[in-house]
Amino acid sequence: MRIFFPANCGRRCVMAAMMMIYFILAGSLAALAQTEGEFSSAGLIILTPPASDSVDIYVFGYTFTLSNDTQEVHVPHVAITMRDLYGEAQRLESNDTAYYMLELAFDNKYQIFFESEGHYTKFIELDTRDVIDIEKEQGYLFPTDIGMEETVSFDAAALLLKKPIGRAAFDRRTQTMNWDFSHTAKMRSEIEKLERKATKKKKRKNKHR
């Protein structure tokens, strides 16, 4: 998707556009969230011209969890920490409505951690280093919702601190950020295995009380 802005479009203009785009895409994002259970993204949206000289990619969305009937429930005030290749860190939290926004630059790699009491701490990796020069003349929006899950297994929690639940990199062929869904599927399989093990162990403990 390509979005055209007037040349003098500033930060407020971009934020208004983000909200408009998010609500347009909300249905498809929710469907993806219920399928993936981890995060959902509508893909990279191009801003022409870029809305800011200092920001190349805006990552934004909502932090949520899935209820027992698989309905999406927003989780506000999730602590978010973004670290880059150069050791720079930025900290914020999703707001009262569970919305967050991050500002990324080209030629970098980011780890973005999401933390909330009672939920697994998880992180995603976004690699913006392989963007060709002509593509750098544009700006991008990357709407991404993040699913927060109740902590069930200590081992699963340790795994999520060690490996990203999702990772995306800029693909020159498609000229967009692509998620590595095979990685996420493998992580999901490992987490489910560790959670089943933890549940069985808990049942055995309760049985012998």
**pTM of the predicted model as reported, rounded to 2 decimal places:** 0.76
Helices H, strands E: what count in the chain?
A: 3, 13
Cis peptide before 50 (omega within 30 of 0): no
Confidence of residue 140 (pLDDT cuts 50, 70, 90): confident
175: left (phi over 0), alpha (psi -120 to 50) or beta: left
| Nearest-5° Cα angle at 127, 54 to 140 | 45
The superfamily (CATH) of domain 2-207 is: Immunoglobulins (2.60.40.10)
**Which of 106, 103, 78, 73 has its CA nearest to residue 92?**
78
Residue 165 to residue 123: CA distance in whole angstroms: 6
pLDDT of residue 191 exceeding 80, the answer is yes
